[in-house]
Amino acid sequence: MTRQLQLIIKPRITTKSSLNPPLEYFAKKMECIYKDPNAPVETRIKDLLSRMTLQEKIGQMTQIERRVATPSAIKDRCIGSVLSGGGSKPFDKANSADWADMIDGFQNAALDSRLGIPIIYGVDAVHGNNNVYGATIFPHNIGLGATRDADLVRRIGEVTALEVRASGAPYAFAPCVAVSRDPRWGRCYESYSEDTEVVRKMTTLVTGLQGQPPEGHPKGYPFLAGRKNVIACAKHFVGDGGTDYGTNEGNTIITYDDLERIHMAPYLDCISQGVCTVMASYSSWNGSKLHSDRFLLTEILKDKLGFKGIVISDWEALDRLYIPPGSNYRHSILSTINAGIDMVMVPFRFELFLEEFLSLVESGEIPMARIDDAVERILRVKFIAGLFEYPLSDRSLLDVVGCKPHRELAREAVRKSLVLLKNGKDQKIPFLPLDKNAKTILVAGTHADDLGYLCGGWTATWEGTSGRITDGTTILDAIKEVVGSKTEVTYELNPSPETFSGQDFSYAVVAIGEAPYVETGGDDPELKIPFNGAELVSVVADRVPTLVILITGRPLVLEPWLLEKIDALVVAWLPGSECQGITDVIFGDYAFHGRLPMTWFKSVDQLPLHIGKQNSYDPLFPFGFGLTCENKGDSN
Ligand code: GLC
């Protein structure tokens, strides 16, 4: 039996009264206006805030990781939120039901607290509910940027919300609305594009995740439609994709006008859609750390843009602030809370955090008004999200996780994300589409049959990994499914000249690219194709007609000799679990649709090289480039 039923059936009123228990219960309940779902949200906030102690208020401003989230800590410290860091799961290959059991456990502890304030459980569902085994894995944002399809991204948000809710979580740390200006950045693939207008267009993920606000929804006010939607998080505010050399957590050196025009514009679109939370960036703006920049977090985001949801810190961001000499963790708490951070993703050392935090408020260094503003914002999102009425998971959603319609949507996204950079050694004789009934096909390369590589970072684990990490279809699986019964498919991970002795392959499909990476681990000044991918292609292309499929989170160095040798080149970005979307197009059932979301440089010496760069824009392939080829199918 879920907790809500206990609350209604067993009123816990002990005072004597002539009222019958049910009437007495509702009378008591009405005194607790904050528990009345029919009361206006702002009235519920004020009522609850008036009942909270200082300890409960700062507890609500605290987000802790599941690995340190004991029931007693959640209950006794009135913790506001629990999260799973990237890949932090109940156990390996845990499915949605396992997750829902875990999250409901934390929630019941919160409901046992003095005021019964529910927690928000947050996960990085950044391309589907990617921590959970069996969930649908969508292309990463850079591939979605190549589609230029805002409605597709909205639909992906809707499906992602269902699969996240099925696991019991009401909060996704998405969308990342970074405008990535340099492919050397390890988070380039989390960005939709180098172009602000493309990123702005893709912010429809917010409406997909949270639902469509009604006409006249108040500006800046958070919105959430219902139990099949999740709280979204626009991140990372602001300028995370514009750092010098693409250094992750680095310094964005730019005028305020350019910061607003290039990097801040997508946040206006997210706020206009009622985004509930915004996550601060680790990076700095002209040397000022975003997490302690009151001008940007409060005067701009809250005052000028009117954002009335939660500003949440990033993971251990306060710890990374106090490294400068002369400062310390206490100072980091002071500077970030006073700058406008409302909830701190601590995430482990919450006892120390709460101790220092309490001391700072009691000393008056952090004004009570700042605490009340932060807690009001937190309670606002919790009330709007319906967490007081429906705090626990909805198990009826379990059946939709990884269901065929969801996978078909991911397949459509893969199709539309593919960018065709070369089609035929002689432009008059296109190489694609491939013949499904060819006599013999060689499929080769490190990325042809590795689902982990095809999904990239933020999948199953934080960094991503190799192998059959979840349910899904690799490129090799998809080719075997689609070719004619008389067609022979040979797979060779690492082809050598011996692969070809006595063989007469009609053509080869070679999949190469990047291994998964995440955040600073992905920063790369050289951007060469890993695993000797170029040499591997050479072995094949010297002997048979070859299509290369590049699996990558960003543009990489393409040597002229490589481009010369191959017959066709398709960039599939990080496609996720449904790679039939690739064979749908290379075998001609659907047309190519994708266009480059990032400029494709000739040499890393040119970087940063993006549209809007005034002089010397001399790319290998320009932003927006993408060939099409005559196909029987439509481009959907
Ligand atoms: C990470 C990322 C952020 C993510 C958060 C929680 O370090 O910067 O995008 O949402 O921590 O995992």
Decide the pairing of beta strands 568-573 and 419-423: antiparallel
- Asked whether the beta carbons of 291 and 341 are under 8 A apart, the reply is yes
Cα distance between residue 519 and residue 247, in whole Å: 10
| pLDDT tens column, 2-56 | 444 444 434 444 444 444 555 555 555 557 899 999 999 999 999 999 999 999 9
- What pLDDT does 12 receive? 42
**Best of 63, 66, 83, 173 to mutate for ligand 1, by most ligand atoms within 8 A of CB?**
173
Cα distance between residue 161 and residue 156, in whole Å: 8
Catalytic position from the list 463, 519, 524, 567: 519
| pLDDT tens column, 572-602 | 999 999 999 999 999 999 999 999 999 999 9
Q: E strand or H helix at 92, and its extent?
A: none
Q: What is the mean pLDDT of residues 221-241?
A: 98
Ligand 1 within 6 A of 314 CB?
Answer: yes
- What pLDDT does 31 receive? 72
| pLDDT tens column, 159-187 | 999 999 999 999 999 999 999 999 999 99
Strand 568-573: give its sheet, edge to edge.
Answer: 419-423, 568-573, 546-551, 507-513, 440-444, 488-492
Ligand 1 within 6 A of 500 CB?
Answer: no
- What pLDDT does 24 receive? 58
Ligand 1 within 6 A of 377 CB?
Answer: no
| pLDDT tens column, 85-130 | 999 999 999 999 999 999 999 999 999 999 999 999 999 999 999 9
Confidence of residue 1 (pLDDT cuts 50, 70, 90): very low
Cα distance between residue 144 and residue 48, in whole Å: 42
Ligand 1 within 6 A of 173 CB?
Answer: yes
Provide the sign of the torsion angle of the four alpha carbons 543, 544, 547, 550, taken in this order.
negative
Cα distance between residue 493 and residue 509, in whole Å: 11
Structure tokens at 553: 């989170």
DSSP 8-state class, residue 473: B
Ligand 1 within 6 A of 463 CB?
Answer: no
Confidence check: pLDDT of 461 > 80: yes
Confidence check: pLDDT of 144 > 50: yes
Q: Which residue has the tokens 């997508």?
A: 266
Q: Whose CA is nearest to atom 8 of ligand 1?
A: 314
CB atoms within 10 A of CB 92: 9
Active site residue 519: yes
| pLDDT tens column, 44-96 | 999 999 999 999 999 999 999 999 999 999 999 999 999 999 999 999 999 99
Distance between Cα 279 and ligand 1 center (Å)? 9
- What pLDDT does 27 receive? 55
- What pLDDT does 79 receive? 98
DSSP 8-state class, residue 326: T
- What pLDDT does 2 receive? 40
Average pLDDT, the chain: 94
- What pLDDT does 530 receive? 96
| pLDDT tens column, 381-413 | 999 999 999 999 999 999 999 999 999 999 999
Closest C-alpha among 86, 33, 80 to residue 462: 86
- What pLDDT does 614 receive? 65
Q: What percent of the chain has pLDDT over 90?
A: 91
Confidence of residue 467 (pLDDT cuts 50, 70, 90): very high
Domain 418-616 has CATH 3.40.220.10: no
Distance between Cα 379 and ligand 1 center (Å)? 22
Confidence check: pLDDT of 517 > 60: yes
- Ligand 1 atom with the smallest distance to the CA of 176 is 9
Active site residue 314: yes
| pLDDT tens column, 196-220 | 999 999 999 999 999 999 999 999 9
Distance between Cα 458 and ligand 1 center (Å)? 10
Ligand 1 within 6 A of 187 CB?
Answer: no
- What pLDDT does 428 receive? 79
Cα distance between residue 266 and residue 402, in whole Å: 30
Catalytic position from the list 163, 195, 314, 524: 314
Q: E strand or H helix at 500, and its extent?
A: none
Confidence check: pLDDT of 632 > 90: no
Ligand 1 within 6 A of 453 CB?
Answer: no
CB atoms within 10 A of CB 327: 14
CATH pick for 52-400 out of 3.20.10.10, 3.40.120.10, 3.20.20.300, 1.10.10.10: 3.20.20.300
- What pLDDT does 519 receive? 98
**Best of 88, 314, 318 to mutate for ligand 1, by most ligand atoms within 8 A of CB?**
314
- What pLDDT does 201 receive? 98
Confidence check: pLDDT of 436 > 70: yes
Helices (H), 294-444: 294, 317-321, 329-339, 350-362, 368-384, 404-417
Structure tokens at 155: 């639909």
Ligand 1 within 6 A of 315 CB?
Answer: yes
**Best of 66, 89, 123, 124 to mutate for ligand 1, by most ligand atoms within 8 A of CB?**
124
- Asked whether the beta carbons of 604 and 152 are under 8 A apart, the reply is no
Coil, strand, or helix at residue 355?
helix
Q: Where are the beta strands (DSSP E) in 173-306?
A: 233-237, 251-252, 277-280, 284-285, 288-289
Distance between Cα 316 and ligand 1 center (Å)? 9
- What pLDDT does 290 receive? 98
Cα distance between residue 228 and residue 217, in whole Å: 20
Structure tokens at 369: 């008004």
Q: Domain limits of the chain?
A: 52-400, 418-616
Q: Whose CA is nearest to atom 12 of ligand 1?
A: 85
